[in-house]
């Protein structure tokens, strides 16, 4: 679960939505802290998960009884929560709102205007802090784009790590009994009686959770809260001034990246190529990549990708405990002093290797002691 950001140094383009915010004082939770807008329907309420005019999908051929049992919610309470989460992925009404996001690292806060449609597309126009003012971020099914106002650049990359992808993994994990979900009650958010859905690992020894406040009539997410492996809250996002339906003034052009910032932004494309193993990545990179010798309890390697941008080639490694995650983005850097490293947000670590340094950008929400453990145990990938 995660956040992301961008930068003018050629490396920022590798950061996904939340990571971007992290550069201005936000933790990079990879799409975990961002939240959707909300709205109340102008028509009669539908049952959670129902789509007007759409029959329930049927699977060709069907699955065997054992497979169906493996993918079925264990009880009615979990089924109710799962239906709300599925509807959250594709709300039943367009909406707009004001959004406030808080990140535990540094207590950073951003404010943005948000618009969403029934296809799951979400666009955010940032107002504060000043370093993000004028920036625009687009997320959605198989989409991610970020317009950086300060440099008038538009970065587009695969949507890995965005909130849409994260929430899909939650839904899939619930059906595969990796996570459990339950409705714990109702609470008013932005004047709407929202259902509170808590997602947590099935394994009771694995802490951390994601909590969603969802409008049961539209599926719009009003608020989200994420806790890390220490069960400490690391991010929240909440909506206000919500508009629904025609009052939201949502138009198709709102989700066209070419129009962000009035158009004319210099495009940057970042490619992410999954690789089968860290050893394969090491054989293809112009530096010796690093990995932690020690991981926090419950964390495991989830994926590794070679990232190619306009200026550099690097490695992105992601570790997760199922609910939260942290990433290490690595590039080759000249050997020597790096005066800004000590105050960089997100943290930038420069590790000497041979005649050069490896720059490692950490994005995550680990407790301070665990973050330091990851830093201290970094070592070259074994040949």
Taking each helix axis from N to C terminus, what angle separates 76-89 and 163-175, rounded to the nearest 10 degrees? Answer: 160
Q: Can you list the domains of the chain with their CATH numbers?
A: 2-41+66-267 (2.50.20.10), 269-380 (3.30.200.100)
Residue 69: the pLDDT is 47
Helix ranges restricted to H, 194-235:
none
20-45 burial: b if 16+ Cβ within 10 Å, else e: bbbbbbbbbbbbbbbbbbbbbeeeee
3-state helix, strand, coil in the chain (%, to 5): 20, 40, 40
Residue 346: the pLDDT is 78
What are the tens digits of pLDDT across the range 308-362? 887 889 999 999 887 778 899 999 999 988 887 777 777 899 999 989 999 999 9
pTM: 0.68
Q: Which three-class secondary structure state does DSSP give residue 188?
A: strand
Q: Which three-class secondary structure state does DSSP give residue 250?
A: coil
End-to-end CA distance of the chain: 30
- Antiparallel, parallel or unpaired: β 266-269 and 153-156: parallel
- C-alpha 160/C-alpha 99 separation (Å) is 23
Q: List the chain residues with pLDDT less than 70.
A: 1-74, 158-164
**Exposed/middle/buried for 353, CB within 10 Å: 0-12, 13-18, 19+?**
middle
Backbone φ and ψ of 153, nearest 5°: -120, 145
Backbone φ and ψ of 223, nearest 5°: -160, 150
Residue 171: the pLDDT is 82
Count of C-beta atoms within a 10 Å radius of residue 69: 10
Residue 23: the pLDDT is 37
- Tell me the two tokens of residue 104: 């535990």
Residue 37: the pLDDT is 26
Residue 252: the pLDDT is 95
Residue 77: the pLDDT is 76
Q: Which of 77, 86, 302 is closest to 180 using CA atoms?
A: 77
Q: Which helix (H) or strand (E) holds 26?
A: none
């Amino acid at each position: 679960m995660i956040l992301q950001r961008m930068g003018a140094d050629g490396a920022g383009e590798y950061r996904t939505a939340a990571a971007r915010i992290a550069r201005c004082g936000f933790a990079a939770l990879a799409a975990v802290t961002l939240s959707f807008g909300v709205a109340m329907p102008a028509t009669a309420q539908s049952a959670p998960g129902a789509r007007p005019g759409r029959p329930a999908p049927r699977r060709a051929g069907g699955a065997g009884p054992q497979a169906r049992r493996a993918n079925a919610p264990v009880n009615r309470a979990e089924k109710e929560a799962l239906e709300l989460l599925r509807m959250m992925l594709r709300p039943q009404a367009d909406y707009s709102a004001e959004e406030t996001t808080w990140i535990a690292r540094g207590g950073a806060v951003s404010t943005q205007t948000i618009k969403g449609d029934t296809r799951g597309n979400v666009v955010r126009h940032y107002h504060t802090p000043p370093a993000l003012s004028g920036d625009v971020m687009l997320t959605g099914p198989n989409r991610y784009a970020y317009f950086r106002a300060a440099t008038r650049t538009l970065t587009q990359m695969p949507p890995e790590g965005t909130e849409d992808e994260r929430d899909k993994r939650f839904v899939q994990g619930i059906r595969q009994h990796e996570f459990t979900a339950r409705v714990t009650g109702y609470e008013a958010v932005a004047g709407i009686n929202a259902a509170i859905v808590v997602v947590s690992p099935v394994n009771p020894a694995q802490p951390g959770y994601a909590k969603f406040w969802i409008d049961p009539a539209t599926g719009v997410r009003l608020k989200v809260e994420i806790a890390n492996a220490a069960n400490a809250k690391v991010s929240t996002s909440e909506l206000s001034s919500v508009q629904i339906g025609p009052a939201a003034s949502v138009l198709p052009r709102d989700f066209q990246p070419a129009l962000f910032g009035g158009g004319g932004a210099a495009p940057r494309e970042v490619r992410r190529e999954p690789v089968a193993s860290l050893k394969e990545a090491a054989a293809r990179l112009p530096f010796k990549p690093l990995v932690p010798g020690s991981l926090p309890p419950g964390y495991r390697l989830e994926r590794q990708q070679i990232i190619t941008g306009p200026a550099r080639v690097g490695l992105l490694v992601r570790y997760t405990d199922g609910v939260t995650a942290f990433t290490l983005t690595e590039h080759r850097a000249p050997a020597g002093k790096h005066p800004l490293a000590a105050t960089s947000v997100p943290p930038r670590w420069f590790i000497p290797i041979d005649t050069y340094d490896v720059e490692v950008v950490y994005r995550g929400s680990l407790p301070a002691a665990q973050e330091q453990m990851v830093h201290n145990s970094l070592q070259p990938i074994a040949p």
